[in-house]
Amino acid sequence: MAEFNQSEILGSVFDTTSRYVNVRPVGLGAFSLVCSAYDLVRGRAVAIKKLSNPFATATHAKHTYREIKLLKQLRHENLIGLCDVYISPRTDVYIITELLSTDLGRLLEAGPLEPQFIQYFAYQILRGLKYLHSARVVHRDLKPSNLVIDENCDLKICDFGLSRPYDHRMTGYISTRYYRAPEVMLTWQRYGVEMDIWSAGCVIAEMFNGKPLFPGQDPISQFYLILDVLGNPSDKFISRICTSNTIEIIRSLERRQPRPLETVIQNLDDC
């Protein structure tokens, strides 16, 4: 049986086997803690993601199983690679993956990117999504912090905690607000890979502008920001909304005309 070393990181107990040393915090989320470490067996740096209380409920257990299964099955240059998985004596699950030096969110803190980097990152995002969608998997939480980048500017999509196979019956209020597709906000009964394409478009626009394209403070303001750019939705779009109250509200909105992209996204001509 493997021996575990216990440490306290950001107020959380973090258990690692003896093969992992130099453990340092990288990021903290609502349900996980991510640390960097050095793998003595593989001789390289790795990322260790702790899933807290992964078996607390059937839903938690299902999400844990789904994330590990997808990481194990999906192999692509633009998707993060799984190295190992273990369960600690406290029954927390630890997922070990490749470690890249930064993420797109951190790069964007400095402002807009240069055109050549936008082109290369956009290409890699779409290339990774093409593979993911060809496997009938929807990421469901594409955002700058889930796009990790190494010193060679190679990009990988990470964090498959909300991902799931596409079965035409997906529901639920997922993805981070700024990158959330309208159909998700309006609680359609069915949505699919298109929501990832919307999120990718928002990320690409953010690379040009250096700030989120639709920085809504809540779902309502988020939807109005989208309307200000794209105009009122078509009847075909409205027909797919589930609730009659929502349909009535949208039909009663003041008419808005779509704006040219070049007035919304800066320096488009440079690419």
Contact 256, 231 (CB under 8 A): yes
Question: Distance between CA 10 and CA 108 in Å, rounded?
Answer: 25
**Cα Rg of the chain (Å, integer):** 20
50 is in an annotated binding site: yes
Q: Pick the catalytic residue: 15, 103, 141, 196?
A: 141
Question: Residue 168 is which amino acid?
Answer: H
- Type of residue at 186: L
> Half-sphere exposure (CA, 13 Å, Cβ side) for 35?
21
Whether the Cβ atoms of residue 42 and residue 55 lie closer than 8 Å to each other: no
Angstrom distances, CA of residue 146 to CA of 57, 137, 264: 25, 16, 24
Q: Are 158 and 148 in contact (CB under 8 A)?
A: yes
Distance separating alpha carbons of residues 80 and 97, to the nearest angstrom? 7
φ and ψ of 115, to 5 deg: -55, -40
159 is annotated as an active-site residue = no
Annotated binding site for ATP: 50
Binding residue ranges: 50
Active site residues per annotation: 141
